[in-house]
Amino acid sequence: MPEVSMVVNGQNVSGSCEGRTLLVEFLRENLGLTGTHVGCDTSQCGACVVHVNGKAVKACTELAAACDGSKVTTIEGVANGSLHPMQEAFRQHHGLQCGFCTPGMIMAAIDMVNTHGKKLSEDTIRHELEGNICRCTGYHNIVKAIKAGAKKM
């Protein structure tokens, strides 16, 4: 069994996993970080988005062993005392209904700002959300929340 060590939300963690263990399984089952969700499990819905070495990826399609030596940030790691500006914006703008897709939406939104800057047009946001699905169809408020959250980041 491969031994993996990584830095998750600023803390060194290590453990053994199988070759086939997915990053999302390692986070949820080994580390108990259940904020990262498994939605479709086919890399389409984006509920499992986390950051690996600063880039948003789908943790359901990433092998835990491949993340050995990486820095991983999950939804649990974005708040610092108070809510992250993007989390706060989702709260303010009612950017969620059931909340299942929200961790992935927020991790995708933070990556969007890191890549495209703080001034995001509605077009850019909608285009960049291609890989995140909300089944409550709350996109309208999600887009508003990301636009507002981006400005405050």
Partner 1 sequence: MYDFNYHRPKDIKQAVKILRDSEDGVPMSGGMTLVPTMKQRLAAPSDVVDIAAAAGSGIKASTSKVTIKAGTTHATVASHPGIQKHCPSLAALAGMIGDPHVRNKGTIGGSIANNDPAADYPSACLALAAKIVTNKRTIDADKFFKGLFETALRDNEIITEVEFACPKRGAYAKFPNPASRYAMVGVYVADHGRKGIRVAVTGATDSAHRNKAMEKALTEDFAPGALDSVKVKSDDMNDDIHASADYRAHLVTVMAKRAVAASG
**Tokens in use for 55?**
């880039």
| Under rule CB under 8 A, residue 34 binds partner 1 | no
List 35, 131, 139, 153, residue binding partner 1 (CB under 8 A)? 131
Question: Residue 139's CB: how many other CB atoms inside 10 A?
Answer: 16
Query: Toward partner 1, which CB reaches closer, 80 or 137?
Result: 137
Q: How far is the CB of 124 from partner 1 (least distance, A)?
A: 11
List 12, 42, 80, 82, residue binding partner 1 (CB under 8 A)? 42
The CA distance from 59 to 61, in Å, is 5
The CA distance from 8 to 14, in Å, is 10
Task: Give the footprint of partner 1 on residues 69-108 (CB under 8 A).
Answer: 108
> Which one of the spans 26-34, 36-44, 73-81, 134-142 is the region binding partner 1 (CB under 8 A)?
36-44
Across the chain, the runs of DSSP E, i.e. the strands, are: 3-8, 11-16, 49-52, 55-58, 71-73
Q: CB under 8 Å to 126, separation ≥6 — which residues? A: 139, 143
Torsions phi, psi for 36 (to 5 deg): -80, 120
List 31, 65, 125, 148, residue binding partner 1 (CB under 8 A)? 65
List 9, 44, 92, 114, residue binding partner 1 (CB under 8 A)? 44
| Under rule CB under 8 A, residue 20 binds partner 1 | yes
The CA distance from 40 to 43, in Å, is 7
| Under rule CB under 8 A, residue 117 binds partner 1 | no
**Which residues contact partner 1 (rule: CB under 8 A)?**
2, 18-20, 22, 41-44, 46, 49, 55-58, 61-63, 65-66, 68, 108, 111-112, 115, 128, 130-132
